Amino acid sequence: MSFPFVPNPSPVSAQERAGRLVDPGFGRVFTDHMATLRWSEAAGWHDGRICARAPFQIDPASAVLHYAQEIFEGLKAYRLDDGALALFRPEQNARRFQRSARRLAMPELPEDLFLQSIEALVRADADWVPGQEGGSLYLRPFLIASEVFLGVKPASEYLYVVLASSAGSYWKGGARAISLWVSHDYTRAAPGGTGEAKCGGNYATSLVAQQEAIRRGCDQVVFLDAGERRWIEELGGMNIFFVFADGTIRTPPLAGTILPGITRDSILALARAEGLRVEEEPYAIADWRADAESGRLTESFACGTAAVVTPIGRVAGPDYGFTVGTGATGQVTQHFLDRLTAIQRGRAPDAHGWVQRIG
């Protein structure tokens, strides 16, 4: 057993928990436990456990606090209609965690340890999965450089932690069509950089652009490529899809600067299996605007674990603004939202073997 269970001696009461689960939103309600595991050059991966979620001590000279050697993941546990709990393609998160680790010169957590940590934590905190439609337990594995040293080098010690957080909708006020601000000043990722890794630094550098989006009255920022500021890449924490009047769906290609989203990959697989024309091709911001205005493009949506499938209603830039389709949820967007969530919740056949029940 790599993650022995050391129960929280003072868990939240059932009554208090029920209150917190009424409208959990995203990222604020945490469970009673967490998973931890350490790595050192001498001992490798060791000292795993599921224990009480609590603040931990960290030396102020820990490398992560200075040079941001950190990676993370995001996945959800769902309650199926028959009461069992299940994960959606968790091995994909395990593999992306390994790729992120390689890019940040960190040790790769073996896939089975990643999966064991997640499953053991979900079992310990099963009561924290909200019962209402759309509820899930969001899991946040992360790895930090814990060596106490100010030299710039890959650390020789790391701490792996998994948090669990009861989640409803990512969006305040529930799901609705969102508006995007196109950042022509800030970029998220450059060729050769860390765009395809899930490291905290990518999100730190996205914040000023996200702040600008909010100031401009938009919900989220959409980033363009760093070289030409011409090609649409992705949002700060979601991939993007375009739907055309002729039935084609398109998403930007994975060329090193975009996070390879598991939701993105799943929608591509579903669309291909349905016989839709699918393109992983670059799409220029000027074309998005022209196609939305001409009616050639009918819908656009964002997707990711936290955001699931979210329609895009309006897009604005420094000297332009346009509405996508009707400005509300389009048919194709709704179709993929419904198909994906039906599979995730065990209400539709799982032809791809994506749903992993937790025994």
Evaluate whether 236 touches 223 at the Cβ level (below 8 Å).
Answer: yes
Instruction: Give which of ligand COI, ligand PLP, none residue 262 binds (C-beta under 5 to 8 Å, depending on kind).
Output: ligand PLP
- How far is Cα 167 from Cα 87, in angstroms, rounded to an integer? 14
Q: How many CB atoms lie within 10 A of CB 215?
A: 9
In the complex with ligand COI, the residue whose CB is nearer, 155 or 167, is 167
In the complex with ligand PLP, the residue whose CB is nearer, 50 or 238, is 238
Instruction: Give which of ligand COI, ligand PLP, none residue 218 binds (C-beta under 5 to 8 Å, depending on kind).
Output: none
**Looking at 46-54, 206-214, 299-307, 337-345, which segment touches ligand COI (CB under 6 A)?**
299-307
**Looking at 56-64, 84-92, 121-129, 298-306, which segment touches ligand COI (CB under 6 A)?**
298-306
Contact flag: residue 206 with ligand COI (CB under 6 A) = no
**Looking at 135-143, 157-165, 236-244, 287-295, which segment touches ligand PLP (CB under 6 A)?**
236-244
In the complex with ligand PLP, the residue whose CB is nearer, 266 or 329, is 266
Judged by CB under 6 A, the residue of 48, 130, 195, 237 near ligand COI is 237
Which positions from 301 through 340 interact with ligand PLP, judged by CB under 6 A? 304-305
Tokens of 197: 């890794």
Closest residue by beta carbon to ligand COI? 74
Evaluate whether 239 touches 304 at the Cβ level (below 8 Å).
Answer: yes
Which positions from 50 through 79 interact with ligand PLP, judged by CB under 6 A? 74
Q: How is 130-161 classified by DSSP, letter by letter? A: --STT-EEEEEEEEEE--B--SSS--SEEEEE
Contact flag: residue 356 with ligand COI (CB under 6 A) = no
Q: How far is the CB of 73 from ligand COI (least distance, A)?
A: 7
Q: How far is the CB of 38 from ligand PLP (least distance, A)?
A: 25
Q: Residue 258 to residues 24, 38, 94, 190: CA-CA distances in angstroms?
A: 29, 29, 18, 9
Contact flag: residue 234 with ligand PLP (CB under 6 A) = yes
Judged by CB under 6 A, the residue of 74, 107, 195, 252 near ligand COI is 74
Which positions from 303 through 332 interact with ligand COI, judged by CB under 6 A? 304-306
Q: Residue 64 to residues 57, 145, 196, 200, 225: CA-CA distances in angstroms?
A: 13, 5, 20, 10, 28
Specify the long-range contacts of residues 228-234, CB closer than 8 Å, at least 24 apart: 229/184, 229/187, 230/284, 230/285, 230/286, 231/282, 231/283, 231/284, 231/285, 232/282, 232/283, 232/284, 232/285, 232/288, 233/188, 233/189, 233/195, 233/257, 233/258, 234/188, 234/258, 234/259
- How far is Cα 80 from Cα 5, in angstroms, rounded to an integer? 24
Residues at the contact surface with ligand COI, assessed by CB under 6 A: 74, 237, 304-306
Residues at the contact surface with ligand PLP, assessed by CB under 6 A: 74, 234, 237-239, 259, 261-264, 304-305
